[in-house]
């Protein structure tokens, strides 16, 4: 079987016959040059399946599901609360965070956030492509932008606060629960003092310093996720 993996949001089952959309059909036939009777894989949150191309008509691929390859994943929920940044850096950050296992992205508008809008449609495309590439089954979700107060009020989570003022660089695993672990990364101008106090008042929050140096947002995200993954996996 080829190593081509495509995300397919609709339910899949053995012997099912369905068609790919125009974009995915173009990718298979024009970019990857696949032919009739070749196989590839389709995945969504419920698992991964082997599919066989049974027809190509008007540049649309029709396929049949052959068998299930993997069951759905039961992975630890890992969230990333972040301040939006310039799109080229943000796209890279979202891509790498997806590859590293983030399951939900929560854009937060902080006092010092410069970029106050996100292109959600573009980011959703990036997380799908990154999931296809990195052999993930669960595609991360992207929430609408919100302010810090609403984020803290409306979420039940084990919050990891990346704080330059923290005196520790270690996470206490014994304080983690079965709730999602959420990393919060501030804007490039750092958190305001009022925001620091609000975050530190959140029940069970752990503040850590991920590096002695001041990191760019996208670098801080990769570093923080790597630290968390080492602890929870």
CB 120 within 8 A of CB 144: yes
86: number of Cβ within 10 Å: 12
∠ CA 72-160-119, rounded to 5°: 65
CA–CA distance, 139 with 124 (Å, rounded to integer): 9
Question: Please, what are the domains in the chain?
Answer: 5-71 (2.40.240.20), 78-232 (3.40.1280.10)
**pLDDT mean values, one per 10 residues, the chain (233 residues):** 88 94 94 93 95 93 96 88 93 96 96 92 96 94 96 92 89 93 92 94 93 87 93 83
CB 61 within 8 A of CB 190: no
pLDDT of residue 233: 78
The pTM (predicted TM-score) of the whole model is 0.91
Per-residue pLDDT reduced to its tens digit, 74-98: 788 999 999 999 989 999 999 999 9
Q: CA distances (Å), 195 to each of 58, 111, 161, 182, in order?
A: 55, 8, 11, 16
Q: Which residue has the tokens 């330059």?
A: 164
162: number of Cβ within 10 Å: 21
pLDDT of residue 155: 82
């Amino acid at each position: 079987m080829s190593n081509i993996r495509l995300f397919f949001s609709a339910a899949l089952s053995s012997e099912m016959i369905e068609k790919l959309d125009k974009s995915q059909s173009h990718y298979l036939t024009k970019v990857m040059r696949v032919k009739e009777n070749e196989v590839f894989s389709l995945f969504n949150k419920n698992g991964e399946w082997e599919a066989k191309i049974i027809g190509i008509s008007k540049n649309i691929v029709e396929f049949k599901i052959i068998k299930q390859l993997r069951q759905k994943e039961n992975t630890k929920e890992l969230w990333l609360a972040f301040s939006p940044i310039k799109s080229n850096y943000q796209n890279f950050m979202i891509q790498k965070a997806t590859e590293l296992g983030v399951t939900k992205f929560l854009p937060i508008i902080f006092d010092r956030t410069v970029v106050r809008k996100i292109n959600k449609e573009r980011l959703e495309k990036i997380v799908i492509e990154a999931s296809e590439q990195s052999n993930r089954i669960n595609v991360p979700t992207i929430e609408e932008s919100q302010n810090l107060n609403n984020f803290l009020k409306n979420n039940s989570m084990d919050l990891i606060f990346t704080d330059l003022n923290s005196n520790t660089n270690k996470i206490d695993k014994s304080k983690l629960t079965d709730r999602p672990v959420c990393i919060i990364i501030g804007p490039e101008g750092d958190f305001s003092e009022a925001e620091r106090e609000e975050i530190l008042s959140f029940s069970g929050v752990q503040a850590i310093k991920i590096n002695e140096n001041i990191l760019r947002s996208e670098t801080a995200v990769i570093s923080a996720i790597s630290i968390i993954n080492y602890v929870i996996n």
